[in-house]
Amino acid sequence: MICFFLSLFSQVFQSGWTGVNERTFIAIKPDAVQRKLVGEIVQRFERKGFKLVALKLVQASEDLRMDHYWDLRNKPFFSGLIHYMRSGPVVAMVWQGLNVVKTARTMLGETNPAESLPGTIRGDYCVDVGRNVIHGSDSVPSAQKEISLWFKPHELQLWERNSTPWIY
């Protein structure tokens, strides 16, 4: 019980969500939901040893889509990207663990599936950069920004995972 409260305390009050408390934002895009890849993708993060902190199926509003991809607003593919992200619900998730931001990006593969190695999610499940099935934050600051865009604080679950001592 004491360990549980200490863990909650450190999760709530530790600044920067570093170390084993690092968090990333992952979104399973509308094409992957349509193609029934949700279970497969969630399983990869679970089996890796990351901890699921939040998950919801959401039809992203225009404001949310624009805010999420605001840095890319001047790219020629921006309107197509915003349209694609409106084409159906996405599975928004927060995963937590040691180096989760960088490791998740490795698990995703490259932005262009043609450059993604087999064994990565984009390498295994897609062929077109405009239908690349998954989003993952590219840095810890981006992750913090994206998590706060997609989730309210009470949607992030503070829970003790029994398998943690077998992972760290």
What tokens appear for 108 in the block? Answer: 């995703």
Q: Which is nearer to ligand DAT, 11 or 94 (CB)?
A: 94
The reply on whether position 130 binds ligand DAT by CB under 6 A is yes
Contact with ligand DAT (CB under 6 A) among 88, 138, 145, 156:
138
Q: Which is nearer to ligand DAT, 53 or 85 (CB)?
A: 85
Q: Which is nearer to ligand DAT, 11 or 103 (CB)?
A: 103
51 makes contact, choosing from Mg ion, ligand DAT, none, with CB < 5 to 8 Å by partner type, with none
Q: Is 48 annotated as a binding residue?
A: no
